[in-house]
Amino acid sequence: MKVKPIILCGGAGTRLFPSSFKNNPKQFIDFGGWNLFQKTLERIKNSIYDYPVISSNQKYEKIIKLFLTKYKIKKYDLVLEPYKKNTAAAILSSALLDNIPNNQPLLFLPSDQLIEDDVLFNKAVKKNIKKLSGKNICIFGIKPTEPSSQFGYFLTKKNSDNVVSFVEKPSINLAKKIIKKNAYWNSGIFYLRKDSLITHYKKNQQSLLKICLKAVQKSKYKKSTYKLHKSSYAKAKEISFDYAILEKSKDIFGIKLNLLWSDLGSWRAITRLFQRIKNKYYKKENTFLKPWGKYFNLHRGEGFLIKELVVNKKSSTSLQKHKHRAEHWTITNGKPKVTIDKKIIYPNVNETIFIPLGSVHRVENNFSKPVKIIEAQVGKILKESDITRYADQYNRIK
């Protein structure tokens, strides 16, 4: 039997933009001719997969169908929530469709993650299908690239794939300790059979099971689209799958993946991504010379601009502020001196700095090697004219 991919596509992406900023959800953001939803659809174009189920919010129906047409996904089921109820309800309701057999292997894929080796990932899916039973749950783990408090971790028994404990978003110090014990990031990708999923909800979330079953049975269906019953779904508990099911289960095994992965949930993650792929975006017409060096516009998206700055030796940008944008800098080369208001810092390579809107700031290079920075500008106006200078060694203050 083929694996049924269920794509979770209801997130709002509020971590990237200010709450006052109208923006596309993260999975639909154009990062230069591609988006994360597209990458997820490409991942399941493999003979091991059945046609997908897509779980989302009703307000995203139009944009999802536009992308399904664009990327030539002709057969699918679309399950639309009238309200956001977190992943426990979304995962369950999308799996309860009558056309999914009880012993069907289900792969739940967040649509807002970037996996840079689909071949390796799909090999792991195929290899582990025989391990799935009517009782267990498989989770995919990512080898940490650094201690982080942004992700949950899991630990397995020594020389085994059986998960023995979870640590949800630990402090940096605790993350350092558990990484030494071979902990892996919990990717949020879940793999299990339908009968196992229902068994776990019967045991741990019986009320939620009844509510979601009713919402599916009374849903409005038209042209491969299920609109969940509004008044039934309104009663669903708002809780994540991790808390509702995963942390209560005793029968979990982990697939440990050693590949590049990111949920692109922060501008730090996005600037680091562009650091790796920047060569694809260099163009002569997007190169601008400055007295202190030069910058390259790598990609302009809706409400953001990704640039690379190169500050020459013994040079400095002006002491300046912006009225309409904040900036996120990832240092990729050199030893800069950075001023942010009354604070002076000396960030290391790979360190990320946030420049709040309206902060007076400057970057100086007092050494012989150039300073390089991947910069994400975020705001409603992203123009060079949005600079107020307070000090400048090149006499540009008017």
* pLDDT tops 70 at residue 308: yes
Three-class secondary structure of residue 125 per DSSP: helix
* pLDDT tops 60 at residue 304: yes
| Predicted local confidence at residue 181, as pLDDT | 93
| Predicted local confidence at residue 337, as pLDDT | 98
Closest CA to 309 of 369, 363, 373, 364: 373
Distances (CA, A) of 275 to 52, 145, 369: 32, 15, 18
Quote the CA–CA distance of 259 and 186 in Å, as a whole number. Answer: 14
| Predicted local confidence at residue 20, as pLDDT | 56
Three-class secondary structure of residue 378 per DSSP: strand
- Check: CB of residue 36 under 8 Å from CB of residue 3: no
| Predicted local confidence at residue 228, as pLDDT | 98
Quote the CA–CA distance of 366 and 22 in Å, as a whole number. Answer: 40
Give buried/exposed letters for 267-305 (b at 16+ CB in 10 A, else e).
bbbbbbbbbeebeebeeeeeeeebebbebbbbbebebbb
| Residues 334-350 pLDDT 10s | 999 999 999 999 999 99
* pLDDT tops 80 at residue 15: no
Where on the phi/psi map is residue 87: left (φ > 0), alpha (ψ -120 to 50), or beta?
alpha
Q: Which long-range contacts (CB under 8 A, 24 or more apart) does 338-344 make?
A: 338/362, 338/363, 338/364, 339/363, 339/364
| Predicted local confidence at residue 238, as pLDDT | 96
pLDDT band at 17; cut points 50, 70, 90:
confident
Closest CA to 9 of 110, 108, 83: 110
| Predicted local confidence at residue 159, as pLDDT | 85
Closest CA to 368 of 340, 334, 338, 395: 334
- What is the average pLDDT across 225-253? 95
* pLDDT tops 80 at residue 24: no
* pLDDT tops 60 at residue 19: no
Question: Domains along the chain?
Answer: 4-265 (3.90.550.10), 268-391 (2.60.120.10)
| Residues 96-154 pLDDT 10s | 999 999 999 999 999 999 999 999 999 999 999 999 999 999 999 999 988 988 889 99
* pLDDT tops 90 at residue 169: no
Distances (CA, A) of 398 to 51, 360, 388, 389: 61, 17, 10, 8
| Predicted local confidence at residue 23, as pLDDT | 62
- Check: CB of residue 87 under 8 Å from CB of residue 10: no
| Predicted local confidence at residue 22, as pLDDT | 60
Taking all residues of the chain, what is their mean pLDDT, rounded to a whole number?
Answer: 94
Q: Cα-Cα-Cα-Cα dihedral of 202, 206, 211, 212, to 10°?
A: -30
**Sequence letter at residue 261:** W
List the alpha helices (DSSP H) in the chain: 36-43, 61-70, 86-95, 118-127, 172-180, 194-204, 206-217, 230-233, 241-244, 267-277
- What is the average pLDDT across 144-171? 90
Lowest mean pLDDT among 75-89, 160-174, 198-212: 160-174
List the alpha helices (DSSP H) in 229-318: 230-233, 241-244, 267-277
Where on the phi/psi map is residue 334: left (φ > 0), alpha (ψ -120 to 50), or beta?
left
To the nearest 10 degrees (0 to 180), the angle between helices 36-43 and 118-127 is: 50
- Check: CB of residue 378 under 8 Å from CB of residue 313: no
Predicted TM-score of the model (pTM): 0.92
CB contact set of 18 (below 8 Å; sequence gap of 6+): 326, 378
pLDDT band at 13; cut points 50, 70, 90:
low
